[in-house]
Chains A and B, each alone.
Chain A
Amino acid sequence: MPSLVDMLLNPSFWFSVLRVTTPIIFAAIAALITDKAGIMNISMEGTMLFSALAGTIVSALTQSAWIGLLGAMAAGVLLSLTLAYFTLELKTDVILGGVAINLFADGGSIFILYLLTGDKGTSVSLASKVLPSVTIPLIDKIPVLGAIISGHNALTYIAAATVFAVYFMLKSTPLGLKIRAVGENSSAAQSVGVSAKKIQYLSLALSGLIASLGGAYMSMAYLPNFSRNMTSGRGWIALAAEAMGQGGVLATSAASLVFGFADAMANALQMFSLPAELVGIIPYVATVIGLILYSVRIKNAKKRRGASKKPL
């Protein structure tokens, strides 16, 4: 029987960590963008699921993985804009709106799949075009590191790029500044002519776009087809990762990696006699503890400053 140390030393384990982290990172970053604009968006699970389906269908119809990806992105944006319309125009409670989007995607994806293909639950007759894996020249020759970093699906690299792009966008661009201002004090933003509504629309659309990449990854990379509820809670895990990252892009990505690690670990530990169920809850317990520690820090800082800053 292989030992835990063997497992941790095996590059293929670390490869799988990155593999399972990819969709979580997309969804967590998606949640973060709306959070920054002051919107608690809990629709990641549904957005990913719906995009996963759209990716499968479009790629199968066009026989092009990349056009399929575009289809997934369009579906994600469309769903998020629906949520935006209801919350920003019709004043639906954003959390209930998120609940509705998740319900819709859960049933709606199966419904649409059935209508188009007659398949119930899994797209048996409809195989996705799979997005290519990328071998990074030179790096793949490096021992150990090459085996971990190279050879992933294109979307894994896009995820990494997204992290840095969003980091840069929020930190350094005029748009990022506006998003953060709207989220933190929207009347301050309004007072200098920044339309909070416009910014929130935009951030929801961006969030849908990024979450859709996570969905596409599920059905066009992780697996080669769509199946019922294939995101299996990754959208919720992403919310936890975002909460643990507390608004930091890099911290959120790191938290996503922790979840990915725990996920890969739980898979790998099934070889050992450790109870997988208990290993599986480690990330969630860690989130609760992380949240508590962070909230305590905010509370103390608030006390020190005596100012009224709203904790998240």
Chain B
Amino acid sequence: MRQDKSFEFARTLLSIAISLALAFAIIALSSKEPLAALRYFIIGPLDSASHIGNIIEMAIPLVFTGLYYSILFKSNLFNLGAEGLFFSSGLLSGMLGATTYMPPGLHPFVLILAGGLLGALLGLIPCAINYKWGASTLVVSLMMNSILYGICMFLLNNKFRDVSSYTIVTEPFQATAKLARIIPGTRVHAGAIIAIACCVFLYLFLNRTKWGYELRMLGSNKHFAEYSGMGVASIMFLAHAISGALAGIGGSVEVLGMYSKFQWTSLPGYGLDGALIALLAKSNPAVVPFAALFIAYIRNGADMMARLSDVPAEMVALVQAAIILLISSQALLKGLRERSLLSKLKGENANA
């Protein structure tokens, strides 16, 4: 076990190291003042409380989509529907935030709950279609992103729009609806606490509950789950509902924490990032926040570098792509692993 984990860990570290080396190489090659650029990239995001706050603030939505994919990966399921759910729930919470009245504290809680419920319901749709008719979950979830986006934009534009504004936004949220800032001098909001709570909850759910256990067994070997007498279909529905709820909560938290009115006019793009975070965290909810912080850190670094030097921020996309490719490469370092396994087997035979 220890050996296995350390191997996975080594592979993750190696993937990150290669990707960062790639980043450094790109900076060195493309910048006229590489050392300064590198300094902005590496130290910039950490050099003041407000910069560190930026990292945390950016990590919050990443935690939610990271959890979304962690649950799916753990159950060996996959879809690309996080975007649409994130957007829809964000709009629902934003709209309700502008039009409902509730005491502070309770208000955002109810709104986020509503967002989570909507996410869970929407998340079940591709799963149900697949279960009932066998259509590909991946393609249906992709289509749903566009459909939900279209419906949301229609609703925003025609039903919830603030007519006094020149841009397509809702009316401003009630003061009670917004998530409070929790660290002075930064924009870090209470969503960070919710994100951590979700990670803890999911960690416990996966490792300490019957349903989490069944979900993990389904992910490890579907035939084994069936053979053991588990209801495989209901586990699949459960996985989709939970991941959908997480994306929904994430959308709501992001909208209520970062904005004073709903103002997205395009899909926020957190969907694919979630897959990256889950890969980095090996789908372990306890590691997801760290993976999210890491990605937020290199993004903020890239942003600072772009503002203060001559290297554009999009460099970070190359790093992210490299990380995904390397981490998901089953064959990377495989030779090493096989050799260690072989020597282990030999040791076992000698003992036996």
What residues of chain B lie closer than 8 Å to A296, measured between beta carbons? 133-134
Q: Say yes or no for A115: interface residue by CB 8 A criterion.
A: yes
Total of A-B residue pairs, C-beta within 8 Å: 138
What residues of chain B lie closer than 8 Å to A278, measured between beta carbons? 150-151, 154
Residue among B78, B328, B332 with most chain A CB within 10 A:
B328
**Do residues B325 and A100 form an inter-chain contact, with CB atoms below 8 A?**
yes
**Do residues B331 and A287 form an inter-chain contact, with CB atoms below 8 A?**
no
Looking at the complex, which of B36-44, B141-149, B198-206, B338-346 is the stretch in contact with chain A? B141-149
Q: How far is the CB of B134 from chain A (nearest CB, A)?
A: 4
**Do residues A312 and B140 form an inter-chain contact, with CB atoms below 8 A?**
no
Q: Say yes or no for B315: interface residue by CB 8 A criterion.
A: yes
Q: Say yes or no for A272: interface residue by CB 8 A criterion.
A: no
Q: How far is the CB of A26 from chain B (nearest CB, A)?
A: 19
Closest to B315 in A: A111
Assuming the A-B contacts A96-B324, A104-B321, A311-B134, are A284 and B147 also in contact, with contact meaning beta carbons closer than 8 angstroms in the complex? yes
What residues of chain B lie closer than 8 Å to A107, measured between beta carbons? 314-318, 320-321
Contact partner, A275, options B158, B275, B316, B317, Cβ 8 Å: B158
**Do residues B143 and A86 form an inter-chain contact, with CB atoms below 8 A?**
no
**Do residues B135 and A104 form an inter-chain contact, with CB atoms below 8 A?**
no
Q: How far is the CB of B151 from chain A (nearest CB, A)?
A: 7
Q: Bound complex: CA of A236 vs CA of B324, how far in Å?
A: 20
Q: How far is the CB of A229 from chain B (nearest CB, A)?
A: 10
Q: Say yes or no for A92: interface residue by CB 8 A criterion.
A: yes
Q: How far is the CB of A268 from chain B (nearest CB, A)?
A: 17
Residue among B30, B140, B151, B330 with most chain A CB within 10 A:
B140
Q: How far is the CB of B199 from chain A (nearest CB, A)?
A: 22
Q: Say yes or no for B14: interface residue by CB 8 A criterion.
A: no
**Do residues A288 and B316 form an inter-chain contact, with CB atoms below 8 A?**
no
Q: How far is the CB of A15 from chain B (nearest CB, A)?
A: 25
Q: Say yes or no for B239: interface residue by CB 8 A criterion.
A: no
Q: Bound complex: CA of A99 vs CA of B79, how far in Å?
A: 12
Within 8 A of A (CB), among B272-304: 272, 275-276, 279
Q: Say yes or no for B136: interface residue by CB 8 A criterion.
A: yes
What residues of chain A lie closer than 8 Å to B321, measured between beta carbons? 100-101, 103-104, 107-108
Chain B residues bordering chain A, tally (CB within 8 A) = 42
What residues of chain A lie closer than 8 Å to B151, measured between beta carbons? 277-278, 281
Q: Bound complex: CA of A120 vs CA of B310, how far in Å?
A: 11
Closest to B332 in A: A90
Within 8 A of A (CB), among B151-207: 151, 153-154, 157-158
**Do residues A103 and B330 form an inter-chain contact, with CB atoms below 8 A?**
no
Contact partner, B146, options A91, A108, A284, Cβ 8 Å: A284
Q: How far is the CB of B152 from chain A (nearest CB, A)?
A: 8
A100-B325, A101-B321, A277-B150 provided; 8 other pairs, C-beta below 8 A?
A90-B330, A99-B276, A107-B315, A110-B314, A239-B142, A243-B139, A277-B154, A288-B129
Chain B residues in the interface with A (C-beta under 8 A): 30, 78, 129, 133-136, 138-140, 142-144, 146-147, 149-151, 153-154, 157-158, 272, 275-276, 279, 312, 314-318, 320-322, 324-325, 328-332
Closest 9 CB pairs of A and B: A107-B317, A104-B321, A281-B150, A107-B314, A90-B329, A91-B330, A277-B154, A100-B324, A111-B314
16 pairs, CB–CB < 8 Å, chain A vs chain B: A86-B329, A89-B331, A92-B328, A99-B275, A108-B314, A111-B315, A275-B158, A277-B150, A281-B147, A281-B149, A284-B147, A288-B129, A291-B135, A294-B135, A299-B134, A311-B134
